[in-house]
A and B are shown apart, each in its own frame.
Chain A
Amino acid sequence: EPEVTQTPSHQVTQMGQEVILRCVPISNHLYFYWYRQILGQKVEFLVSFYNNEISEKSEIFDDQFSVERPDGSNFTLKIRSTKLEDSAMYFCASREGQGSGNTIYFGEGSWLTVV
């Protein structure tokens, strides 16, 4: 079964450093997402991406964050100047279309620890 893959599975970074989290969505999917989940807390929407541009973003997704689809397969989340509170599991997700029956599929997540 096709799946969303994410790398790295775990990254430890120093506060103030830049981090890039990578995702390979399912190949025929057109809508891409990043969510995050701080340990023990709820899954929070960060951003959605379609047709090479951001279609919606949350208040969490400030200037510190950016997304990019540098080629036909990868979808990246960049976090500039990381802060301690950025420590979380970051999930990439994708879906084929936006119709009500279109399922969103999640990757296994990338654990980010900022020290």
Chain B
Amino acid sequence: TQLLEQSPQFLSIQEGENLTVYCNSSSVFSSLQWYRQEPGEGPVLLVTVVTGGEVKKLKRLTFQFGDARKDSSLHITAAQPGDTGLYLCAGPPLGGDMRFGAGTRLTVKP
């Protein structure tokens, strides 16, 4: 079983739509990070959330860390084709090293 479960696995939407992807675990994480990965490249960090209940905004992207620090969500407003990519959540469970979810593959069609 995955330590971090991401859903949905695949998401295909039209430009201008809103979307939310989720990252869930039964374990508590000291922090969670969201990455975007393009084909053939390494993951690029988008944001780190540290405090339970924390909300961070990055332009059209809103990240939330659950109160219990076991889950996180990424909401994209008015998606654009440039948002297309693999979105990964990752984090160190308490006492452990960084682990990744399987990712959500987002396609935004013009």
Kindly identify, within residues 35 to 60 of chain B, every residue whose CB is under 8 Å from any CB belonging to chain A: 35, 37, 40-45, 48, 50
Q: Contact: B101 with A56, CB < 8 Å?
A: no
Q: Contact: A45 with B45, CB < 8 Å?
A: no
- Interface residue stretch chosen among B13-21, B72-80, B92-100: B92-100
Q: Contact: B45 with A43, CB < 8 Å?
A: no
Please classify how large the interface on chain B is, using the bins under 10, 10 to 19, 20 to 34, 35 or more: 20 to 34
In whole angstroms, how far apart are the Cα atoms of A42 and B102 in the complex? 5
Q: Is B31 an interface residue (CB 8 A)?
A: yes
Q: Is B7 an interface residue (CB 8 A)?
A: no
Q: Contact: A105 with B45, CB < 8 Å?
A: yes
- Interface residue stretch chosen among A13-21, A65-73, A76-84, A106-114: A106-114
A interface size (C-beta, 8 A)? 24
Which A residues are within 8 Å of any B CB, using their own CB?
33, 35, 41-45, 48, 55-56, 89, 91, 93, 98, 100-101, 103-109, 111
Which B residues are within 8 Å of any A CB, using their own CB?
2, 30-31, 33, 35, 37, 40-45, 48, 50, 88, 90, 92, 96-103
